[in-house]
Amino acid sequence: MQSNEQGALASNQGKILEKTVETTFQAKGFEIIKYRTWDKNREKYGSELLLENCPFKNIYHHDGNTEFLLKSKKFDCEIRIECKWQQSNGSVDEKFPYLYLNCIEAMPEKEIVIIVDGGGAKVGAITWLQETVKSKKYTSDYNNDKIIHVFSLAEFIKWANIRFR
């Protein structure tokens, strides 16, 4: 398979993960809307939102985006959600340290969900991410209050079903 075909396939597989996240929150009563559309006219929308393609300044002070930002008045939370699907050999798992540093240093939300699935991550990569999150590695006094969850897709759905009853 050619490189551009592999990239397109990986992108399509990742979109299935994102659609599953959307469906999960839609079933919980959240309205799904693009962040930039919402940001232009916030008063037009309710208080239970799943915003798509949400910007932030990354650790290099460049523009970055994550898949989702959940905003809920009912559940009193703002949760940034990052989706990573790796079904075969690739570089998604090699970006886990960069993702983690963005979570603790650049993403403004106090709670962040990372969904990692697909079965193709290198042995030890997801374990490294889970252990790093659990031990709050590389945090300091100003950012050690972050709550970061690392879930498989099934774990995420279970968490959402419990958290957003």
Structure confidence by residue, pLDDT tens digits, 19-33: 999 999 999 999 999
% of the chain at pLDDT higher than 70: 93
Cβ-proximal residues to 30 (8 Å cutoff; 6+ apart), any chain: 48, 49, 50, 70, 72
d(CA 102, CA 11): 22
Number of domain units in the chain? 1
Kindly report the CATH number assigned to the domain that includes residue 85. Answer: 3.40.1350
Q: Which domain holds residue 79?
A: 3-163
Tell me phi and psi for residue 14, to 5 degrees.
Answer: -65, -35
**What pTM, to 2 d.p., does this model score?**
0.92
